[in-house]
Amino acid sequence: MFYGEFEHSLDKKSRVIIPAKFREALKDNFVEKFYITRGLDGCLFLFTEEEWKKQEQKFRGLSFTKAEARKFNRLFFSGAGELVCDRQGRVLLPQYLKEYAQIDKDIVFIGVSNRIEIWSKSRWKEFYDTTRETFEDTAEKLIDLE
């Protein structure tokens, strides 16, 4: 549902407009609210309500007797919150999540099929620059196209 890469900036009130292409996909799928939380690799994850419930079910199934599962669930769920776009298609990013993702002003939205990732522009550039060279090697290890 979500594809592409879009640059935006926070306004003075820490709001950012969701890219038009993503807003269209949300409207086409009757999505009104999202869930945002700490993501991996220093970004934020933004899920539709339907996708959030799938992820929640999966992570809820992790054994709380395992230390790694407890650590992950604590950080993932304690960082979560509901978001709803205003009439201009903007959302307010919570301060603690901006700090986690090192977001100051410039943002990159990344569509990753079932979720949107929100990156600080500098962190995205660093991630992209260090991983694009291994893209083909990674594909070879993960994907069997036969």
Q: What pLDDT is recorded for position 146?
A: 58
CB 17 within 8 A of CB 118: no
- pLDDT at 26 > cutoff 90: no
Q: Is 85 helix (H, G, I), strand (E, B) or coil?
A: coil
Q: In angstroms, rounded to a whole number, what is the distance separating the alpha carbons of residues 121 and 107?
A: 5
> Cβ atoms within 10 A of the Cβ of 104, count?
12
Q: How many residues does the chain have?
A: 146
**What value does the mean pLDDT take over residues 87-113?**
95
User: Which amino acid is residue 96, in one-letter code?
Assistant: Y
Q: Which CATH architecture has domain 2-142?
A: 3-Layer(aba) Sandwich (3.40)
Rounded CA separation 33/16 (Å): 15
Crossing angle of helices 49-60 and 67-78, rounded to 10°: 160
For residue 143, the model assigns a pLDDT of 82
Q: Please give the residue that has the higher pLDDT: either 106 or 60.
A: 106
Helix (H) and strand (E) counts for the chain? 6, 8
Average pLDDT of the chain to the nearest whole number = 92
Domain ranges of the chain: 2-142
